Amino acid sequence: MASTNVAVYPGSFDPITNGHIDLVKRTLRVFDRVIIAIATNPEKDQSLCTVEERVTMVREVFRGLGKRVKVDTFEGLLVDYAETIGAQVIVRGLKAISDFEYEFQMAMMNRELKPNIETFFMMTGESYFYISSRLVKEVVGLGGDVSDLVPKKVLKRLKAKFALRG
C-alpha cells in the first residue's frame, strides 16, 4: 500500500532557493518524509546547472535533516514517478497569483492521469514571495546580490558557472 506519510516535492530546482528550502521544512511538519524530485528532460533541457549539480546542491542544503529528506531525479511523467515510489501526495509551493493558473492546470492534469494522487499546495513564506530560480539566475548573471535568497554554497556555484561562461 502507498504511504500517506511521504510527499513528493517536484521541480527543476535550477537552482534550489531559500523559498524551496522553507517549503520543504514546512512540509516536514505535516509529512514524515519529503522526496525532492528533480525533473530531468535530456531533450529539452535548458537548465543552467546540470542534474548532477542540482542534486549535489540540494543534498548539501539538507544534509542535517537525515533520512526525512531524500533527493531523487525522474524522467517522464511526475505521476508515474510518484506511483513508482509509493507516494500519494505531490507538494507544490504557491507564490503569487500568477503561479495559480499554471499550478492549477498541472494539478488537474495530474489528477486526470492518476486520480489517487493528490496535489497539496503550500503558500510560500512571506519573505520568499518574490523569489524564483529564474530571477535568481538572471540577477547573479548580471552581477546583482542575491545572498539573502539562496544558500551560500549555491551562490558560490552559480557565480562560478557565470564566471566560466565569461
Q: Which CB, 133 or 155, lies closer to ligand PNS?
A: 133
Q: Mind giving me the DSSP string for 122-135?
A: EEPPGGGTT--HHH
Q: How far is CA 8 from CA 29, 74, 114, 120, in A?
A: 14, 11, 14, 10
- How open is the CA angle 76-20-8, to the nearest 5 degrees? 40
CB of 131 to ligand PNS, least distance (A): 12
Q: Residues for the chain: how many in total?
A: 166
CB of 38 to ligand PNS, least distance (A): 8
CA pair distance 30, 28, nearest whole angstrom: 5
And the C-alpha cell for 89? 501526495
Amino acid present at 142: L
Residue 19 contacts ligand PNS per CB under 6 A? no
Q: Which CB, 11 or 15, lies closer to ligand PNS?
A: 11
Residue 93 contacts ligand PNS per CB under 6 A? no
Residue 35 contacts ligand PNS per CB under 6 A? no
The stretch among 26-34, 50-58, 103-111, 116-124 that binds ligand PNS (CB under 6 A) is 103-111
Q: For the chain, how many helices (H) and strands (E)?
A: 6, 5
Of positions 109, 127, 130, 134, contacts ligand PNS by CB under 6 A: 109
CB of 4 to ligand PNS, least distance (A): 21
Residue 12 contacts ligand PNS per CB under 6 A? yes
Of positions 30, 50, 77, 123, contacts ligand PNS by CB under 6 A: 77
Residue 135 contacts ligand PNS per CB under 6 A? no
Give SS3 for 32: coil
And the C-alpha cell for 21? 528550502
Q: Residues interacting with ligand PNS, by CB under 6 A? A: 10-12, 39, 77-78, 106, 109-110
